[in-house]
Structure 1
Amino acid sequence: MSTDYKFEGWCGLDKNAVGNMKWQEFQPKPFNESDDVDVQISHCGMCGSDLHTLRSGWGETPYPCVVGHEIIGKAVKVGKDVKHVKQGDRVGVGAQASSCLKPDCEMCADGLENHCPNIVNTFAGYYPDGSISYGGYANYNRTPSHFVFKIPEKLSSADAAPMLCAGITVYSPLKREGCGPGKKVGIIGLGGLGHFGVLFAKALGADKVVVISRSSTKKGDAEKMGADGFIATEEDKDWSSGEHANSLDLIVSTVSSPKMPLTDYLGLLRFQGTFIQVGAPEDHLPGFSAFSLIPKRCKIGGSLIGPPHEIEEMLQLAADKNVKPWINERPMKEANQVTLDFEAGKPRYRFVLAN
Structure 2
Amino acid sequence: MDSHADYKFMGWMGLDETAGEGKMVWQEFKPKTWEETDVDIQITHSGICGSDLHVLRSGWGPTPYPCCVGHEIVGRAVRVGTQVEGGIKVGDRVGVGAQGDSCLGRGQDSCEECSSGNEHFCAKHVGTYASFHLNGDKSYGGHALYNRSPGHFVFKIPDSISSASAAVMLCAGITTYSPLKHFGCGPGKRVGVIGLGGLGHFVVMWAKALGADSVVAISRKESKRQDALEMGADNYISTDDHPRWDTEFAGSFDLLISTISSSKAPIAGYLALLRRDGTLAQVGNPDDGLFLVPSTGIIIGRKRLVGSMIGSPGEIREMLQLAAEKDVKPWVEERPMKDANQAMVDMERGKARYRYVLVNENDA
SS in 2 for 1:223: helix
Q: Residues 284 and 119 of structure 1: is their aligned pair in 2 closer, same or farther, counting only changes over 3 Å? A: closer
Structure 1 counterpart SS, 2:240: coil
Asked whether the equivalents of residues 69 and 123 of structure 1 are also in contact (C-alpha less than 8 Å), the reply is yes
Q: TM-score, normalised by structure 2?
A: 0.95
Which of 232, 247, 272 is the aligned partner of 2:277?
A: 272
The SS at the match of 1:27 is coil
Taking structure 1 as the reference length, the TM-score comes to 0.98
* Pair 1:313-2:315 in alignment: no
Q: 2:155 aligns with which of 149, 171, 179?
A: 149
**Alpha-carbon contact 1:256-1:285 (below 8 Å) kept:** no
Cα distance in structure 2, aligned partners of 1:353 and 1:160: 13
Higher mean displacement: 258-267 or 172-181? 258-267
1:17 aligned residue: 19
Residue in structure 1 matching 2:196, options 180, 186, 190: 190
Q: CA deviation at 1:213?
A: 0.7
- SS of equivalent residue, structure 1 residue 51: helix
Residue 178 of structure 1 is aligned with which of 180, 184, 198? 184
1:207 corresponds to: 213
**Where does residue 143 of structure 2 map in the other structure?**
137
- For residue 105 of structure 1, report the CA deviation from its aligned partner: 1.1
Mapping of residues 29-48 of structure 1, within 5 Å? 29-32=32-35, 34-48=36-50
The answer on whether the counterparts of 1:37 and 1:143 sit within 8 Å (CA) in structure 2 is yes
Structure 1 residues 1-355: aligned runs within 5 Å: 2-18=4-20, 19-32=22-35, 34-84=36-86, 85-101=88-104, 105-242=111-248, 244-355=249-360
Gaps of 5+ in 2: none
Deviations 1:280-322 (A, max 9, x none): 0002433132111112111111001000000000011001100
The answer to whether the 8 A contact 1:203-1:321 is kept is: yes
Q: Encode CA deviations 1:3-25: one digit per residue, 9 max, x unaligned.
A: 10010000111111120111110
Change (3 A) 1:288 1:82: closer
Report % sequence identity.
60
2:72 is aligned with what amino acid? E
The alignment partner of 2:201 has SS state of helix
User: Gaps (5+ residues) in structure 1?
Assistant: none
- Separation in structure 2 between the aligned mates of residue 180 and residue 346 of structure 1, nearest angstrom: 32
Distance 2:291 2:83 in 1: 48
- Which 4+ runs in 1 deviate beyond 3 A? none
Distance 1:94 1:240, change over 3 A: same
Q: Deviations over 1:226-271 (max 9, x none)?
A: 11111111211321112x2111000000001122111010000011
Residue 57 (structure 1) shift: 1.0
Name the SS of the counterpart of 2:169 in structure 1: helix
Q: Is the 8 A contact 1:240 1:265 kept in 2?
A: yes
Judge conservation of contact 1:210–1:230 (CA < 8 Å) in 2: yes
